[in-house]
């Protein structure tokens, strides 16, 4: 039996202002996180129905929900696939930080 993983994505204010990405509030409202660089190693650990954590470390906000799907959306300059993260049932919860890689994502057991 597979252990359910949790995908953690960071939706900081700076990225939404500088790069036109969805803000934390827009990510929660639309249930879509756009253009996250997720390595093949992390991608293989995820399945629809796994948990999702959306963080904004700047404002200490956190929401949790369920992963619906990862939809390819381009690639980074170094060739890492970018994905739009489709989620459902997002609920605001008390803030708790999670370790993230340099792309602002993590997968935790």
Domain assignment present for residue 106? The answer is no
Q: Which helix (H) or strand (E) holds 10?
A: strand 6-10
Domain assignment present for residue 109? The answer is no
pTM listed for this prediction: 0.91
Residue 12 has pLDDT above 90, yes or no: no
Residue 41 has pLDDT above 90, yes or no: yes
pLDDT of residue 109: 86
Q: Which helix (H) or strand (E) holds 87?
A: strand 81-93
Domain assignment present for residue 67? The answer is yes
Q: How many domains does the chain have?
A: 1
Domain assignment present for residue 26? The answer is yes
Lowest average pLDDT, out of 1-10, 17-26, 42-51, 87-96, goes to 17-26
pLDDT of residue 20: 61
Domain assignment present for residue 22? The answer is yes
Domain assignment present for residue 44? The answer is yes
Tens digit of pLDDT for each residue in 55-94?
999 999 999 999 999 999 999 999 999 999 999 999 999 9
DSSP annotation of 57 reads T
Structural domain boundaries, residue 90? 6-101
Domain assignment present for residue 107? The answer is no
Domain assignment present for residue 1? The answer is no
Q: Apex CA 54: angle with CA 20 and CA 70, to 5°?
A: 75
């Amino acid at each position: 039996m597979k252990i359910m993983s949790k995908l953690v994505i960071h939706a900081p204010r700076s990225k939404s202002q500088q790069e036109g990405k969805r803000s934390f509030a827009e990510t929660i409202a639309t249930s879509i996180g756009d253009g996250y660089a997720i390595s093949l190693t992390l991608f293989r650990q995820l399945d629809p129905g796994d948990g999702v954590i959306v963080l904004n470390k700047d404002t200490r906000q956190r929401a949790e929900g369920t992963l619906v799907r990862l939809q390819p959306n381009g690639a980074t300059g170094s060739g890492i696939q970018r994905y739009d993260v489709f989620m459902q049932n997002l609920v605001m919860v008390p803030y708790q930080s999670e370790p993230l890689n340099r792309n602002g994502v993590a997968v935790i057991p």
